[in-house]
Amino acid sequence: MDLKLETHVTEGITIVSCHGRIVLGEDSAALRDTLKQVLSTSREVVLNLSGVNYIDSGGLGTLVAVYSSARSAGADIKLAGLGQRLRDVLQITKLVTVFEVYDTEQQAIAAFYRGER
């Protein structure tokens, strides 16, 4: 597995930082399991993708599925720190209209306090 996940809480919001590749298989499963665990105790999550250098269709599917589950449960996930390659992928797939994307982790955290949902 190439994906490393780190979780911490900042200002009452859970941050999940990803480093490596999000691809179909163990990596996507680890991300899904981590986010499900986090969402069992936190309603506001920032997924920091600044350390992600590659995502495939399985990884995108995992992001969409977890985001959809979170919204159904009354929780919210915001994405932060996307590199140009990841931004391009979200633009091409039109997922940029689904996710709330912020340049930095701090901007995503601030969006929760401004009530952007």
User: Residue 116: pLDDT band by 50, 70, 90 thresholds?
Assistant: low
Is the CB of residue 98 less than 8 Å from the CB of residue 65? Answer: no
Q: In terms of pLDDT, which residue wins out, 30 or 1?
A: 30
Task: Give the other-Cβ count within 10 Å of 29's Cβ.
Answer: 14
Domains of the chain: 4-113 (3.30.750.24)
For residue 15, give the 3-state DSSP assignment: strand
The whole-model pTM stands at 0.93
At 63-87, the pLDDT tens digits run 999 999 999 999 999 999 999 999 9
What is the per-residue pLDDT for 2? 87
pLDDT of residue 70: 95
The alpha carbon torsion through 76, 53, 92, 58 (nearest 10 deg) reads -70
The answer to whether 111 and 78 have CB atoms below 8 angstroms apart is yes
